[in-house]
């Protein structure tokens, strides 16, 4: 396990400060034909003794970090202007605007994380309270139905939402009955809203299940005692149930922060990176579209730093509480 996880992580750090390129040589090729002889100067890759192309690797320091962070603004612009101007619709056309790639990706990732968390906690808790009130025989039905969005393949879930909100789809039609007409995928804010909506839809069931299980373990005699002492429903909730569930709120928040930080599939599916990128999407895009593992590594290292900054205070707090409690 250590070999397969720690080694790649270390390798990522190593790769992020290096760059490899095929070693090229300038050759003069003499072409002879019935129409005369001409010399063409061209470049070709140097082949090693085993017949493979040789590549030169060198230490580039923080160059890729600077690129990913958008600090080398002039380089980014150069790269943009050298792209063919008629490449409309191809991924290359979108890349010039990504000069401040990582910051933008991080900003949306954090927005997503902090926009979804309160909804996930509140809705999950409300649902748990609700299901806890209904009769025993209805509960499995509600739980089963709620589990579906959670265990669905994220790509499929995001696609289903996309088709629902697509032009001529069900939701635009439904909303147009109320006078709202909107092309959901066409603007940045509505596409982002859809991603956040997807996130809430996807994670609420998890919070719901955890809180529901927690509600089962609330000591009944404490509730009984509170009722006898004249507490109303709200007071019982506030003074007995909520303190009992407090650790679960921390737990759900922690897990959701980890998961939200790696939001990826809805970004791929709903916007294809046109308006929004998330940090995970950025690495994936650089690796597969720009085909540059070294730059992707730089993005990956920044991603790691980001999650560390986000989680360390929380983990420290939990750790301290655990020690005090134990």
Nearer to other proteins, 1 or 40 (CB): 1
Q: Considering only the stretches 8-16, 46-54, 67-75, 113-121, report the one whose residues sit in contact with other proteins under the rule CB under 8 A.
A: 8-16
309 in helix, strand or coil? Answer: helix
Is 92 a residue that touches other proteins (CB under 8 A)?
no
Please state whether beta strands 24-33 and 18-22 pair in parallel, antiparallel, or not at all (unpaired).
Answer: unpaired
> Could you identify the residue written with the tokens 């003499």?
30
The β-bridge partners of 32 are 37
Length of the chain: 326
Residues 183-212 that bind other proteins (CB under 8 A): 201, 205-206, 209-210
Q: CB 144 → other proteins: shortest distance, Å?
A: 5
Q: Considering only the stretches 24-32, 66-74, 75-83, 261-269, report the one whose residues sit in contact with other proteins under the rule CB under 8 A.
A: 261-269
CB 270 within 8 A of CB 191: yes
CA gap 23, 7 in Å, rounded: 28
Nearer to other proteins, 27 or 141 (CB): 141
Q: CB 287 → other proteins: shortest distance, Å?
A: 6
Is 246 a residue that touches other proteins (CB under 8 A)?
no
# binding residues, other proteins (CB under 8 A) = 81
CB 252 within 8 A of CB 172: no
Cα radius of gyration rounded to whole Å, the chain:
27
Is 62 a residue that touches other proteins (CB under 8 A)?
no
Contact pick of 15, 94, 195, 203 for other proteins (by CB under 8 A): 15
Is 80 a residue that touches other proteins (CB under 8 A)?
no
Residues 100-129 that bind other proteins (CB under 8 A): 127
Nearer to other proteins, 7 or 47 (CB): 7
Structure tokens that stand for 321 in this block: 């509480």
CB 12 within 8 A of CB 64: no
Is 169 a residue that touches other proteins (CB under 8 A)?
yes
Nearer to other proteins, 42 or 322 (CB): 322
Is 300 a residue that touches other proteins (CB under 8 A)?
yes
Q: Residue 251 CB: number of other CB atoms within 10 A?
A: 15
Q: CB 300 → other proteins: shortest distance, Å?
A: 4
Buried b or exposed e, range 112-134, using 16+ CB within 10 angstroms: bbebbbebbbebbbebbeebeee
């Amino acid at each position: 396990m250590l070999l397969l996880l720690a080694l790649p992580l270390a390798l990522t750090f190593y790769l992020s400060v290096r760059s490899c390129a095929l070693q090229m040589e300038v050759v003069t090729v003499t072409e002879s034909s019935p129409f005369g002889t001409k010399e063409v100067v061209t470049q070709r890759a140097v082949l090693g003794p085993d017949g493979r192309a040789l590549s030169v690797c060198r230490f580039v320091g923080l160059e890729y970090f600077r690129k990913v962070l958008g600090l080398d603004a002039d380089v980014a612009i150069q790269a943009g202007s050298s792209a063919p101007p008629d490449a409309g619709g191809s991924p290359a056309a979108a890349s010039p605007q990504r000069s401040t790639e990582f910051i933008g990706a991080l900003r949306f990732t954090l927005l997503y994380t902090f926009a979804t968390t309160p909804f996930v906690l509140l809705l999950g808790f409300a649902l748990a309270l609700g299901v806890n009130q209904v009769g025993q025989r209805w509960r499995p039905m509600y739980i089963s139905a709620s589990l579906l969005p959670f265990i669905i393949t994220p790509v499929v879930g995001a696609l289903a939402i996309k088709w629902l909100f697509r032009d001529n789809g069900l939701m635009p039609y439904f909303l147009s009955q109320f006078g709202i007409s909107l092309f959901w995928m066409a603007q940045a804010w509505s596409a982002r809203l859809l991603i956040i909506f997807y996130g809430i839809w996807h994670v609420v069931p998890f919070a719901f299940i955890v809180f529901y299980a927690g509600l089962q373990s609330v000591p009944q005699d404490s509730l009984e005692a509170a009722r006898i002492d004249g507490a109303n429903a709200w007071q019982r909730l506030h003074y007995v149930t909520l303190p009992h569930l407090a650790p679960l709120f921390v737990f759900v928040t922690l897990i959701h922060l980890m998961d939200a930080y790696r939001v990826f599939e809805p970004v791929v599916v709903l916007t294809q990176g046109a308006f929004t990128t998330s940090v995970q999407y950025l690495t994936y895009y650089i690796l597969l579209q720009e085909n540059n593992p070294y730059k992707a590594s730089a993005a990956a290292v920044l991603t790691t730093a980001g999650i560390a900054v986000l989680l360390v205070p929380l983990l420290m707090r939990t750790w301290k509480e655990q020690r005090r409690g134990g």
